[in-house]
Amino acid sequence: MFSGNRASQVFVFLLLTIAEQWTQSSASDTLLGLEWFRPIVHTPVGCFRGLRAQDGNYSMFLGIPYAKVDPENVFGPPIPHRFKGIFDAVDDTSRCPQIEEFNHTITGTLDCLHLNIYVPNSASIDNPLPVMVQIFGGKFQFGFAGRYLYGPRFLVRHDVIFITFNYRLGPYGFMCLNTYKVPRNQGLKDQVLALRWIKENIRYFGGDDSKITVAGNSAGSISVDFHVRFLQEPLFNRVILQSGVILTKQLFKDPDPEAPLKLAKQLNYTTNDINDALSFLNRVEPHALIAANRDTGLVVELCVEKQFDNADNFITKHPNNINIVRDVDVLIGFNNDEGYVAVTTMKKEKFESEDFVSLLLDRDFKFENERKLYEIKKIIRNFYYGDDVPHADNRRPNMNLYADFSFYSPILRTVRKYLDSGLDNMYLYMFSYSGERCFVKDKDNVSYTEGGASHADELGYLYDISYMKERLRDEDILIVDRMTELWTNFVKYGNPTPKPTKLIPLQWPRVSQDKLPYLEINTELRLGSRPMHERMSFLDLLYRHIEHYQRDKQGVNYETGNYIRIWS
Ligand SMILES: *[C@@H]1O[C@H](CO)[C@@H](O)[C@H](O)[C@H]1NC(C)=O
Ligand SMILES: *[C@@H]1O[C@H](CO)[C@@H](O)[C@H](O)[C@H]1NC(C)=O
Ligand SMILES: *[C@@H]1O[C@H](CO)[C@@H](O)[C@H](O)[C@H]1NC(C)=O
Ligand SMILES: *[C@@H]1O[C@H](CO)[C@@H](O)[C@H](O)[C@H]1NC(C)=O
């Protein structure tokens, strides 16, 4: 009896192991718990042995190196990676060098260009699943792709493959120099290599490479906007932009061509030669370089690239001077109180000494004439403050001012730019739920019972954040279910509400040249139209009026000589 049972178990086990190798079968992960009963995927760039997830019916392939940082030139172009034999894809903890945002410690190594793939058991070569790739945010200075923040559990339930990856940050990813060795925007070029890797290899994991959605939040969303505008290769079909577009912040600052000299000096190496400084910095321990970058206060930025022979050029013009050539489906939106945490947590003295109007206006505009500047600022002050002056006990006017200039107007102008370029399958959302899983409120210790949804708060409702496992009250579950259903419907069908369901009992119309409908996501789902239309109309009129005072930044338009159009 006993031995008969055992024999059949072993037989079933062998069959399953064979099936596993070829089809990613959906056999129970706990069957025997043996080490070699692990999913293996063969691809032209290597074999990857992953893990069975314990919290759902899916497999994980963690820490796959999609590219390498060139040890001879750590600030230069990434090198594609391939290897022989079997790679143990079990570690999602790598990070590129950075000051991380949770404990503010310097962390990370240059062995960091890795991706994590989460594959539902239903995926196979015969049943390929749509793919959702997530680009993390963090001001192009911090962030990492592991399950610490981007846990896949809520998304993979909906039968999509989910992927996250690291890219270089700060001085390693975004030094803007005039040398062919560092042809600029390396972090974005890391992203392009990751997307290329996914397009070429995801089918071996049971992915459908004709249905790839690239999603991003904040700086990740800004990255997505770059890929929509600049990437000529058809590496994806759909995009999700959460609270970030190129226009949302001042990118394209004048690059500091002396950054390497300043960094080297901070590290006690004095030279006047950029290449000499670079070869010194190349050997510096990454944590020391990150510290030096912090101590010199150098700003790393994206920038328009000089054209160098043999360099892989990406951003060759100012983004507003480019015509979007590829057709993609778009899900785009924002949270209803983007500025809440940033403005709430400002120290009282800083809040009261900061002139928000000047800060936001001077960022994009330059007036030759003091009188004109004074008039414009007065109109803006009257609009937001009436006859009051901002004070720390009433921060609401500045929250709106900041959010309007930095998020809502730029995002809605981008919607218009996309429409004008012919992208017509586009859905607009406003996320307004504030609960225990709000990511930034929680991180910055701001009570979720006040204010609306702040910047990046939605992350807790898409991802299984490792330190929020217990926070799943009924309302939070409802919002997680709605967000992940809408997002993955879009990934699968290019339409977030293909048919009404109990969970989402409505159909969400797309935007058009005439109408700007949007879905407000909360415990009640609500269809609205033209979000914040009074404030946005004010900004539209303002921008039209002062359009010709836009800053003409050095280094931005030497290619075309065109005016930089903040207004598009
Ligand atoms: C995994 O699949 C089994 C069998 O279909 C199902 O009963 C179970 O609920 C699934 N688990 C999760 C976490 O979805
Ligand atoms: C921050 O510190 C806590 C407590 O030491 C630790 O559990 C957590 O992993 C750290 N977070 C990061 C991102 O390193
Ligand atoms: C640079 O030199 C100063 C003065 O000797 C010293 O205090 C500092 O620690 C040095 N910095 C580094 C990064 O070695
Ligand atoms: C978070 O805020 C609460 C209430 O304002 C305060 O009591 C607590 O000390 C804060 N925690 C941290 C870690 O700052």
Q: Please say whether the beta carbons of 493 and 164 come within 8 A.
A: no
Rounded CA-CA distance 165/524 in Å is 34
Task: Catalytic residue, from 301, 338, 458, 485: name it.
Answer: 338
Beta bridge partners of 188: none
- pTM across the whole model: 0.91
Q: What is the DSSP letter of 391?
A: B
3-state helix, strand, coil in the chain (%, to 5): 35, 15, 45
pLDDT tens, residue order, the chain (568 aa): 333 344 444 333 333 444 444 434 333 333 444 444 799 999 999 999 999 999 999 999 999 999 999 999 999 999 988 778 899 999 999 999 999 999 999 999 999 999 999 999 999 989 999 999 999 999 999 999 999 999 999 999 999 999 999 999 999 999 888 777 787 889 999 999 999 999 999 999 999 999 999 999 999 999 999 999 989 899 999 999 999 998 876 555 666 889 999 999 999 999 999 999 999 999 999 999 999 999 998 877 787 777 766 667 777 777 767 778 789 999 999 999 999 999 999 999 999 999 999 988 887 777 778 888 899 999 999 999 999 989 999 999 999 999 999 999 999 999 999 999 999 999 999 999 999 999 999 999 999 999 999 999 999 999 999 999 999 999 999 999 999 999 999 999 999 999 999 999 999 999 999 999 999 999 999 999 999 999 999 999 998 888 777 765 433 332 333 334 444 3
Ligand 2 contacts CB of residue 100 (under 6 A): yes
* E runs forming strands in 399-557: 426-431, 517-521, 526-529
Cα-Cα-Cα-Cα torsion 155, 456, 429, 230, nearest 10 degrees, comes to -90
From the CA of 143, how far away is ligand 3's center (Å)?
Answer: 29
Q: Please say whether the beta carbons of 190 and 167 come within 8 A.
A: yes
218 noted as active-site residue: yes
Q: Please say whether the beta carbons of 432 and 528 come within 8 A.
A: no
Q: Which atom of ligand 1 is nearest to the CA of 153?
A: 13
Name the residue among 350, 477, 506, 339 with its Cα closest to residue 407.
339
Q: What is the DSSP letter of 567?
A: -
Residue nearest to atom 3 of ligand 2 (CA): 103
**CA distances, 195 to each of 115, 188, 201, 227 (Å):** 10, 11, 10, 10
Residue nearest to atom 13 of ligand 3 (CA): 267
From the CA of 445, how far away is ligand 4's center (Å)?
Answer: 6
Ligand 1 contacts CB of residue 26 (under 6 A): no
Rounded CA-CA distance 302/300 in Å is 7
Nearest bound ligand to CA 287?
A: 3
Residue linked to tokens 């057709």: 327
Q: Which atom of ligand 3 is nearest to the CA of 291?
A: 13
Q: Which atom of ligand 3 is nearest to the CA of 268?
A: 1
pLDDT at 299: 73
pLDDT at 6: 42
For the chain, domains (ranges, CATH) are 4-256+298-555 (3.40.50.1820)
Rounded CA-CA distance 568/564 in Å is 10
Ligand 1 contacts CB of residue 57 (under 6 A): yes
**CB contact burial 231-254 (16+ within 10 A = b; e otherwise):** beeebbbbbbbbbbbbbbbebbbe
